[in-house]
Structure 1
Amino acid sequence: MAKRRRGRPVHGILVLDKPIDKSSNWALQVAKAIYNAQKAGHTGSLDPLATGVLPLCFGEATKFSQYLLNANKAYRSTFTLGVTTASGDAEGKVLTAEPAEHISEQQVLAMLDQFRGSIEQVPSMYSALKHEGQPLYKLARKGLEVERKSRRVEIFTLELEAYRAGEYPEIDVYIECSKGTYVRSIAEDLGAALGCGAHVSMLNRTGAGPFVASQSVSLAELQVLRDREAFDELDALLQPVDQALGHLPAVTLSEAAVDYIKQGQPVMVPKAPSDSEFKLYSEQGSFLGIGELNDDGLVKPRRLIATN
């Protein structure tokens, strides 16, 4: 007999405004407890220093968390020039501190050009990437360093929003980038290119895939609802599961085809898209999951949500 899960069968995506100085997993566990949810998972870690958009998947939404993990991201960040740290952000030990008041706003603007478009990045030792099963940041905290291969990422937007002069100038930047981009690496590489060093002193994620900051909710707001046991209001804050898949085309199935798909059987769909995968819906508009074409041109289920 299968073990019965504790908690409520909650399904959907919570766009959480992650607080500073807390890990993504800590935030996940608190949100899961507030919702008293049976199952939950996050969609890629934000550093403790970072705040902002952290989509959390509940229940059936966890089946599609990979799509948010692979989605483009957007950030606002502050880089402090003239100071380098072991981790590339404000949490790390200061390695060097040399006044950089000679670095002008014009120099920064000119140097940003080389960090737009397709660039190579070497992941930080303080990233969550794994080496022989161990996250790099755990090795780094032991004083160890291993060779990392550079990775190609896309920087779609890199704008200078503010420049504050001083002994250690601060610059505010807005970044839109592909998955796997490390903002701390941009800061470190920019500092190296300017010849003064730099680190991330503030990081706020403003977007993850289709989700943006205006949709986000804080843990404090959630706790107020939980204290009132307002579970209907909590559930109303969840985004539909298929919102994570907004980039995929949609296919509507007939009632008969839905029955076959639910049994794992392929069906004929006139004018089915040739995309590698697509969203499946019933004629009533219910989201069923993801499908794909088989070698015979039939639509087969790839990943379905559990329905009553």
Structure 2
Amino acid sequence: MDGFLNLDKPSQWTSHDCVARVRRLLRQKRVGHAGTLDPAATGVLPIALGKATRLLQYLPSDKAYRATIRFGVTTTTDDLDGEVLTSHAPNLSLTDVQAHLPMFIGRIQQIPPQYSAIQVQGQRLYDLARRGEVVDVPSRTVDVYSISVVDWRSLDYPELVVDIECGAGTYIRSIARDLGDVLGVGATLAALQRTVSSGFRLVESLTVEELDQQIEGDRLTLISPVQTLQHLSAMTLAPESARRWTLGQRLAPCDYPIQSPGTYRIHSLDGQ
């Protein structure tokens, strides 16, 4: 069984929980995922099965999220799963917030949360944080393509709902934290849903319950690797060259019609 699943990860499940569930339901040993989601987050989690696990590194890296940011609250984890550090109802308007959103769009420097899987000195930050060890986390360059306001909730602790399109490695928790900092009121991430990941879209995803039902009814259809790699240029090989390629043998330059350097998806004449 080789191919991909587009799973809608439930809240409070880890990405590994989802992989374990798929592995058990399908009795499949080789199962992996693209783009880890925090336990509290929901949304698109691409799952690869069988030989498709080799292709995870070639999936497109861009992602999109719907995030809810709560102002006036800061936490140890930069989301509501952490311990509250400060809490003060702010006097804040949507106009105030919108004036500062452009500074988070483009190629920006970002410091990951203290509770994250980033490694510093060979150890993951969340392991250090759980032991009470505070370390300097180096900033990273990330790409944020757009931030669009979806809703503004005028509560005692106002909430902003935004759609964010970004590149790999972007922490939405850091955007929430830093937006609160520049406004001088503090903020934390209240909810997060990934709507796009590696070319997979939320509107086409399966919930865990739907996955269970399709497997029980023998109706599950995997997404083909070819469909997930449409962003790569295609190259077609003659039968003998295709045979040698699958055996890991080197090909002469005359065996393949490369026009420019890059990563290609290779097809044989029969479409495989």
- TM-score, normalised on structure 2? 0.95
Deviation at 1:147, TM superposition (A): 1.6
1:77-125, CA deviations, whole angstroms, 9 ceiling, x for partnerless residues? 100000011100010000001111x211111111101101110001111
Deviation at 1:30, TM superposition (A): 0.6
Name which structure has the greater RCO, CA cutoff 8 Å, separation 6+. Answer: 2
1:39-62, CA deviations, whole angstroms, 9 ceiling, x for partnerless residues? 101113100110000001111111
Residue of structure 1 equivalent to 2:102: 113
1:56 aligned counterpart, secondary structure: strand
1:25 alignment partner, one of 16, 34, 37: 16
Residue of structure 1 equivalent to 2:2: 11
Residue of structure 2 equivalent to 1:74: 64
| Cα distance in structure 1, aligned partners of 2:190 and 2:135 | 25
CA contact (8 A) 1:254 1:283 kept: yes
1:89 alignment partner, one of 69, 79, 86: 79
Residue of structure 2 equivalent to 1:160: 149
CA contact (8 A) 2:68 2:191 kept: yes
2:100 aligned counterpart, secondary structure: helix
CA contact (8 A) 1:34 1:222 kept: no
CA contact (8 A) 1:67 1:244 kept: no
CA contact (8 A) 1:15 1:53 kept: yes
2:131 alignment partner, one of 138, 142, 162: 142
1:266 alignment partner, one of 233, 251, 254: 251
1:40 alignment partner, one of 18, 31, 44: 31
Mean alpha-carbon deviation: is it higher for 267-276 or for 143-152?
Answer: 267-276
| Cα distance in structure 2, aligned partners of 1:271 and 1:284 | 17
1:200 and 2:189 correspond: yes
| Cα distance in structure 1, aligned partners of 2:171 and 2:256 | 43
CA contact (8 A) 2:35 2:197 kept: no
1:99 alignment partner, one of 60, 85, 89: 89
| Cα distance in structure 2, aligned partners of 1:204 and 1:92 | 18
1:257 and 2:226 correspond: no
CA contact (8 A) 2:46 2:198 kept: no
Deviation at 1:271, TM superposition (A): 4.1
Residue of structure 1 equivalent to 2:261: 275
Seen in structure 2, the aligned counterparts of structure 1 residues 260 and 216 have a Cα distance that, compared at 3 Å, is same
1:212 and 2:201 correspond: yes
Find runs of 4+ consecutive structure 1 residues off by over 6 angstroms. Answer: none
CA contact (8 A) 1:81 1:196 kept: yes
Deviation at 1:64, TM superposition (A): 1.4
Deviation at 1:256, TM superposition (A): 2.0
1:241 alignment partner, one of 212, 217, 225: 225
What one-letter code is carried by the residue in structure 1 that aligns with 2:235? V
Deviation at 1:269, TM superposition (A): 4.2
What one-letter code is carried by the residue in structure 1 that aligns with 2:120? H
2:143 aligned counterpart, secondary structure: strand
CA contact (8 A) 1:82 1:196 kept: yes
CA-atom RMSD in angstroms: 1.4
Residue of structure 2 equivalent to 1:191: 180
Deviation at 1:142, TM superposition (A): 1.8
1:265 aligned counterpart, secondary structure: coil
| Cα distance in structure 1, aligned partners of 2:17 and 2:243 | 40
1:225 aligned counterpart, secondary structure: helix
Percent same amino acid at aligned positions? 39
| Cα distance in structure 2, aligned partners of 1:116 and 1:247 | 24
| Cα distance in structure 1, aligned partners of 2:83 and 2:227 | 40
1:204 aligned counterpart, secondary structure: strand
CA contact (8 A) 1:249 1:273 kept: no
2:210 aligned counterpart, secondary structure: helix
What one-letter code is carried by the residue in structure 1 that aligns with 2:2? H
Deviation at 1:35, TM superposition (A): 1.3
